[in-house]
A and B are shown apart, each in its own frame.
Chain A
C-alpha cells in the first residue's frame, strides 16, 4: 500500500462560485484523511455540458488543455463536479481511442498529451483508493440514524461507452461510502433521474417539475436528507427547494448535502469547516435532532 495518496485537483468553476462549500469541505476532508490535493495551476472551464453540443474540437480541447495542465502535477486527477468528471473522462477516452482527434487537439492546444494519468471522481478516491475499510477507520462520529437518499443524477456514471466508476443504471458507490461512515441509506426510485441541470436558468419550469419529482420520492422513501456529488444537482435541489414547495404547496424540508460534507461530519469536522452554513435548506435542526453536531 502506498503511504500517502496524492492527487492533482480540478475543482471546476462551480466550486469557486456557487458551490464554495463543496470545495471547502473537499479540501478539509482530504486534509483530515491525509490525502494530498494540489490544485491544478491555471485551470479553466472544462466546457461542461454546453461546449460539446456546439463544437466537438472545442470541447475536447478545453478538457485536453486542463488534462495537460494536470499532467504537470503529481498524482491522478481528482474531480468533484459530475459534469467536469464526465467531460474530462470522456475526452481522455476519446483521445486515447482516436489518433486523428488526438493530433488535432494537440495542435489546437499546442502541447503534447501524455494521457497516462487517471481521472477520478472524489467518490472513487474515497471508496476505492482509500478504501471503505480505511474510511470507516477514520470515522469518529458515525452518522447513526441519519437516513440519506443518495442522488446520483445523470452524469456521474455516464456516458455509457466510457469506462465508468460504477454500473450505469444501478450504481451503489454512494451508498457504499455512506454505509461505511455509519449512515442509513434509503431505497428510492428517483436517484438516477435528471434534475434539469443547467436548464435552471433557461427553462426553470422544467427544472421545477423534474426536481419536485425527485424530492417527492426521496421524502416518500423516508429520507431525512439528500446527498449529492454535483454542484448543479445541488443548486436545483437545494436552492430551488423553497420555490418548488411554493409551487406544489408541499413541505419537504430536505437538507441537501454534498458527499464531502456528510463524510466530513462523520470524520469529526466542524460545521464551519464543512460550510454547512452555506446551505439554503437549513440542516442544523436535523443534525441537532440526530445529535450529529
Chain B
C-alpha cells in the first residue's frame, strides 16, 4: 500500500489568492493511498524543503506529490530534496496548480475544485512510478571538429587549450575556409589573413590537435560520450611526414594553367599545388584530374625533383577510425549559384544577370580576391575581361537572399555589411571611381556596424539606390544595369564597368548527407537545426553533437567565433565528468511483445533504437527486437505513440499511468 505525502504550496499568494490551498490539502488527504497532506507558504524555500524531508522520514512516505508550480521550474529541486531524505527521486511528482490553475482562473471556488482534480491525477500517477536508477555512460574525452574554417579552428583551439585532444577534419587540402579568402573584414577593416593565419599555425602546432586535411567523414557510429568516427583520408599523392614544403615540385610542374578555386578561378595554379602560400598544412596535393602523370603515365617530374622523396603516385585513400566523445560540426557555407537553375534544386538561379557569360559580372567573393593583397592582382581592382580599372562599379545586394520567387526567403545577414566594405575598399583603391549600390534594406545590427555603413555613404561617397535590378547586359565594353529607384519612383540605367553581386549564403553542398551520417536534423535549405532556437542554440537535438558557424545559418565572423567558443564550452562541460549522468526518463522495450517491426526506429529523432537479437540457450536466433539505448534516448515518447503492439513505454509516462490519471478525473 502506498503512503503518499502531498505538499500544497501557497507560492506566497500566487496560488493561495485563487486556490483555497487548505481545502485542497484536506480533500486530497482523504484520497486512497494518501497518508499525509499539508500546505505551506513556500515549499521551495529552505524551511519548505526541510518540512518535506522531515515528513518523509517521520511518516515513512513511499511517494511524494508537490502541488505547486510547473515541473519545469522546480521538479529538480524537489526530487533532490526527496533523494536527500532517502527516497528514489523519481518517486516524486509535481502537480502544476499555478500556471495551469491559479494564474489562469479568477473564480476561487472553481479554481480550487480544479486544483483538487489536478493533484488527484498526480496522486494516481505517482502510485505507479518505478524506482529508476540514474543512467551513467562513460565519456571518451576527445572531440571531433568537422570543418577547418574559422568556426572549426576556434572550437578546436578552445577545446585543445582546455587540455582535451581534438581531431580536426577538413575537406580541402588546407584549413582556413572562406575567411582565408577575404581581403579586409568589417567593421574594422583589419586584414583577414593577418588575423586568420596565426590561428591556422596554432592549430598545426598544438600538441592536442590532430589535423586531417583533405579528409572527409565516412561514417559515424555510437552516441554521446562514445562515438566511433570513420574518416576517409583522400590520397594526397604527397607524404605529409616527408614533405618539407619547399615548393620545388610546384615550380617544376609543367601544367601551370589550372584555374585556382581559392582565387575564384582568377589566378592559375599548377597540377601539384597548395591552394595559397599560407596553407596549413603546407603540403602540396596532386590534382589527379589535371596531372599529366595520372592522365598519360608520362612526366613524373615532381617526383624526380622532390628531395625528401615525398611524392607518391601510388598513394590510395585510407580509412581511419577515431573514438571521440563529442562532435562539433562547423562545415560552413557555399555561395548561391547565380547562373542557371541548378539541377534538381528548388533554387532558380539568375540567368538574367549574365554571370558566367559577362566576364565583368562577378560575385562578392571574387571581389574579395581582387581586393586582397595576396590575390591574383596583388590587391588592384581590375576587370577580369581586359585588366582595366573599373571607373563605375555597381554592387547589387540580396542576390538570392530574401527572394522567395527564386527559392530562398531568408536574409544572408553578412551582405549589407560586406557590400559597404567593398565600396570602401574600392574607394581606397580607385580614387576617381564611383560606386553604386542597389539595396532593399540596409541591415546593420551589430557593434559599430551602422556607423560603418554610414561611413561608406558619408565619407567614402558610395551612392545607395533603394531598389532592385531587373537585368544586366553587355553593351560594348560596358555593362548596362537596369534597375529601379523606388525612393524616387523612376527607372535607373547605369552603364557600369564592373558589377558585383552579393550572393546568398547557402549550406555546403552535401550538408544533407553529412547530417544523415551524424543523425542530426536540418531545415529545408539544409542548414543544421539547433535543439532550441533561443535557449539551446549551439546544441543539436542529438546528444553530444554541437554546431558552430554558418552551417547552422548565415553568420558573420564575430557571431561565428562566439558560437564556436560556445560549442567548445559545451564540449568542455561534457568532458568535466568521467561518467555522464542523465535523467532515466527513457523508453523501455517489453521484449515479449515486440514483433520487431521497428516502426519505433523509423520515428526516433535521436537514433536511440537498436536491433537486438534474442537467442535460446542453444544460441538459435528466436527473434530480433527493438532495444532503446538509454544513453541516447531523448525521452520524447514518440516510439510509445507509434508502437502498434504497445511494447515500448516511456518511464513515468506509461499508458497505465496516463489512463490512471484520466480515470482520476
Contact = CB atoms under 8 A, between A and B. Distances in A.
Interface in B330-374: 340-341, 348-352, 357
Given A167-B348, A170-B349, A160 B473 contact: no
A188 B349 CA distance: 19
A192 interface: yes
Given A167-B341, A170-B340, A189-B473, A160 B405 contact: yes
A190 B482 CA distance: 11
Interface residues of B, number: 14
A99 interface: no
B377 interface: no
Contacts of A160: 405
Contacts of B471: 169, 189, 192-193
Contact of B351 (A167, A190, A193): A167
A169 B350 contact: yes
Interface in A167-193: 167-170, 187-190, 192-193
A188 B350 CA distance: 16
A110 interface: no
B82 to A, nearest CB: 57
Given A189-B471, A192-B471, A167 B480 contact: no
A160 B474 CA distance: 25
B475 interface: yes
A169 B468 CA distance: 14
A160 B340 CA distance: 17
Contacts of A42: none
Nearest to B474: A189
A161 interface: yes
A247 to B, nearest CB: 20
Contacts of B348: 167-168
Contacts of B352: 169-170, 192
B203 to A, nearest CB: 43
A190 B475 CA distance: 11
Nearest to B341: A167
Interface in B307-345: 340-341
Contacts of A169: 350-352, 471
Contacts of B340: 170
A85 to B, nearest CB: 20
Contacts of B349: 167, 170
Given A187-B357, A192-B352, A168 B405 contact: yes
Interface string B365-395: 0000000000000000000000000000000
Nearest to B348: A167
A189 B352 CA distance: 9
17 contacts: A160-B405, A161-B405, A167-B348, A167-B349, A169-B350, A169-B351, A170-B340, A170-B350, A187-B357, A189-B471, A189-B473, A189-B474, A189-B475, A189-B480, A192-B352, A193-B471, A217-B473
- In the complex, the 4 A-B pairs of residues with the closest C-beta atoms, listed nearest first: A170-B351, A189-B473, A169-B352, A170-B352
Given A169-B350, A189-B474, A192-B352, 15 more contacts: A160-B405, A161-B405, A167-B341, A167-B348, A168-B405, A170-B340, A170-B349, A170-B351, A187-B357, A188-B473, A189-B480, A190-B473, A193-B471, A217-B473, A220-B475
Interface of B: 340-341, 348-352, 357, 405, 471, 473-475, 480
